Amino acid sequence: MAPEGALAAAVAVLTRAADDGGVVVLCAHVQPDADALGSTLALAEGLRRRGAQVTATFPGAFVLPASLAWLPGTDRLVPATQLPADPDLVVGLDAADLRRLGEVGPLLTAAPASLVVDHHASNPGFGGVQLVDPDAAATVALVADLLEGLGVDLDTDLATCLYAGLAADTGSFRFGNTSPATHHLAARLLATGIDHARISQRLFDTAPFGWLSLLSLATGRAQLDPTGHGLVWTWATAAEAAAHGLPVDQLEALVDVVRSAEEADVACVLKGTADGAWNVSLRSRGATDVAAVATALGGGGHRMAAGFTSSLDRDGTLAAIRERL
C-alpha cells in the first residue's frame, strides 16, 4: 500500500480531472519497460472509464519492443509530438527524474496540475503532486492503489498490464523487492482470469534466434574484476544487435544473464548507441548500492538495479564505474 497521505493527494488530483472531463496526458519514461508501459496503459484506461480525456505516450523514438507491443492499450498510444498543447493534468510514470520524460518534461512542468508516480529511491521529487514510494515493488503497484481509489474495478485488460510490470520488476518474484504485499497484489490480478503463463512467456522467454548469437558474443567478452565486492562486466553495441537482425532493445536482457556470476556482487553491461554514447545497466547482489553509483554518474535507480548514460568512451566509462565502486 502506498503512503496514505501521498496516495490520497494523488487520487484527489486524478478524481478532479476525471470528474471535470479534463484533458490528461500520461507519459512513461523513455524506452519504456514493462513497469513503465504497464503503469501508463492501466492508468490511462482507468481514467478513461472515469470520464477523463486521456492521451498516453512515451518520449523519444516511438517504437515498442515486440515483448511489450502486445499489451492491451498500446494501439491507443500516440507519439510525444502529437500531444494536446494545453492539458489540464500531466502524469509522469516510473520516471526517476524529469530528464527521463524527455520532451514531455517541459509539458509536465508547465501544466496547471501535475502528478509523478514512481518507485525509484533516487527520485529527487518533482511534479506538483508526488506519489513516490521506494518500498513499492513496482510503479504498477502504486497504479493499482490509484485505480482502487478511483473506484475502477480490475478486469483482464487492466490486470494484464499491471501483472506484466509486477512480474518484470520483481524478476518473476525472485528479487528482494518482493514482499507479502507483492504476492497479495499478484493474487488479485490472477483472480481476474489473466493468462499469467502466457504473459511471462511473452516477456521473458520469447526472442528471435539471433539473440542466441548476440548472447554468445557478449558473454564471451565478459570479464571478472576484483573492484569493490567484485564486478562482472561486458559490452555490446546497437550495431552488433542490428548485425544479428535484432532491435536495440534486445541488449537490455544481457545484464540478467551476466548477473548470474557468483564471484561478483555487481554486474555491469555497457550498451553502445549509434551516437557513440554508452547506456549502462548495473545490478547488485546486495552488498553494493548501485543507485548511488548511477546517481553519481548522472543516472539513478534502485539499490539493486540502476543505470546511467555515459558520453565517455568504453574505457573511460569503466574507469568511472570502478572509481565509484
Rounded to an integer, what distance in angstroms lies between the CA atom of residue 203 and that of residue 165?
A: 10
- Does residue 215 register a pLDDT over 80? yes
Q: What is the CA radius of gyration of the chain?
A: 19
Q: Which residues pair with 93 in a beta bridge?
A: 28, 117
- Residue 272 CB contacts under 8 Å (≥ 6 apart), including other chains: 235, 236, 237, 238, 239, 240, 278, 314
- Band (pLDDT 50/70/90 cuts) for residue 1 is low
* pLDDT tens for each residue of 107-140: 999 999 999 999 998 999 999 999 999 999 999 9
CA 298 to CA 48: how far, in whole Å? Answer: 36
Show the CA angle centred on residue 63, arms to residues 276 and 199, nearest 5°: 115
Q: Which neighbouring-strand residues pair with 44?
A: none
The pTM assigned to this predicted structure is: 0.92
Average pLDDT, the chain: 96
Backbone angles phi, psi at 118, to 5 degrees: -160, 160
Closest residue by Cα to residue 157 from 169, 172, 147: 147
Q: Are 319 and 280 in contact (CB under 8 A)?
A: no
pLDDT digits (tens, 9 = 90+) for 77-92: 999 999 999 999 999 9
Q: What is the pLDDT of residue 3?
A: 73
pLDDT 10s digits, 239-266: 999 999 999 989 999 999 999 999 999 9
